[in-house]
């Protein structure tokens, strides 16, 4: 039976940075090429227990990943995490504690996946090696991708993705630029049409609200109410509900008369609220 290699956590705690054990740890970090992640003591991610083992999850980055425990629990793991502690004066304590993933078969498997999985620097889509072309097409046509950012769509191994300066590398080939421009033109036209449709729908809603507002004010005028009431009518386009007294609430006695009038059959189709002082 074949078993998947596991990652194993090793915790450390040293009183000062000059502790021989910490110096040895720093040499190990440098030798293995790890990029430690520093965090304050109130970081959301907890400290996995010493010696705990985790399977490699589906979310892998250059110096961190999702680990999966025996019961399926998920944890955010770093290749090396150093906890920064402060005293009550806000000064950093000399202690150095945290954890590191041991250099074992599981970590070798993790590094192999990082080296053999290509990632787009724009949308984050992953591609297995080998991959023809070396450029991502998944985000071509996205309204968030600008032509100046096309170098970000270069595919690079996850292991190299953090320090990579994609914009300093060779520009994308002409075929990639042409595909982007064609897709971007289609996307731009779609957005224009969608924006036009939204504007038309908004106009229709405002037109319907204006009609309801006019009908209600006209009925109130016919019922004998003057500008003090009819000018205070407003209809909201999102649900066609009305309010009387939207800018200046009505006196209580006038509000009572208006509410009584609104009970008449002619006003049955309106949703009206009366603001009173």
Task: Flag whether pLDDT at 46 surpasses 70.
Answer: no
Domain annotation covers residue 213:
yes
- Tell me if 45 sits within 8 A of 39, measured CB to CB: yes
- In a shared domain, residues 99 and 11: yes
- Which pLDDT does position 44 carry in this prediction? 52
Q: What percent of the chain has pLDDT over 70?
A: 96
Beta bridge partners of 60: 65
Residue 189 lies in a domain: no
The boundaries of the domain holding residue 44 are 7-103
Average pLDDT value over all residues in the chain: 89
Q: What is the pLDDT of residue 87?
A: 85
215-251 pLDDT tens trace: 999 999 999 999 999 999 999 999 999 999 999 999 9
**Residue 238: CA count within 13 A, CB half-sphere:** 0
Q: Where are the alpha helices (DSSP H) in the chain?
A: 20-32, 105-116, 174-222, 227-230, 252-262
pLDDT band at residue 141 under the 50/70/90 scheme:
confident
Total domains in the chain come to: 3
Residues 260 and 207 occupy one common structural domain: yes
Q: Is residue 42 part of a domain?
A: yes
Query: Across residues 71-96, what is the average pLDDT?
Result: 89
Spatial CB neighbours of 34, under 8 Å, sequence gap ≥ 6? 63, 79, 80, 100
111 domain residue, yes or no:
no
Does the residue 63 lie in any domain? yes
From CA 79, how far away is CA 214, in angstroms rounded? Answer: 68
Residues 173 and 226 in one domain: no
Together in a domain, 15 and 95? yes
Look up residue 81 and give its DSSP letter: E
Cβ 181 vs Cβ 147: under 8 Å: yes
């Amino acid at each position: 039976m074949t078993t998947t290699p596991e990652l194993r956590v090793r915790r450390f705690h040293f009183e000062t940075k000059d502790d021989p054990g910490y110096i040895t740890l720093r040499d190990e970090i440098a030798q293995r090429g790890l990029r430690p992640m520093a965090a304050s003591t109130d970081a959301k991610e907890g400290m996995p227990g010493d010696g705990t083992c985790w399977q490699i999850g589906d979310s892998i980055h250059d110096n961190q990943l999702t680990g999966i425990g025996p019961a399926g629990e998920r944890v955010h793991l770093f290749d090396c995490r150093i906890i920064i502690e402060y005293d009550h004066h806000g000064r950093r304590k000399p202690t150095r504690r945290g954890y590191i993933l041991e250099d074992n078969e599981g970590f070798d498997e993790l590094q192999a996946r990082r080296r053999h999985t290509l990632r787009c620097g724009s949308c984050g889509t992953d591609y297995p090696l080998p991959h023809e072309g070396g450029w991502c097409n998944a985000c071509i046509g996205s309204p968030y991708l600008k032509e100046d950012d096309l170098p970000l769509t270069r595919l690079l191994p996850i292991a190299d993705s953090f320090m990579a300066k994609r914009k300093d590398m060779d520009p994308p080939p002409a075929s990639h630029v042409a595909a982007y421009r064609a897709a971007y033109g289609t996307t731009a036209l779609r957005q224009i049409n969608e924006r036009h449709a939204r504007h038309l729908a908004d106009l229709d809603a405002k037109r319907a609200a204006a009609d309801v507002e006019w009908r209600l004010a006209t009925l109130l005028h016919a019922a004998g109410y003057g500008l003090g009431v009819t000018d205070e009518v407003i209809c909201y386009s999102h649900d066609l509900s009305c309010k009387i007294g939207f800018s200046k609430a009505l006196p209580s006695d006038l509000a009572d008369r208006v509410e009584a009038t609104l009970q008449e059959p002619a006003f049955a189709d309106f949703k009206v609220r009366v603001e009173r002082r």
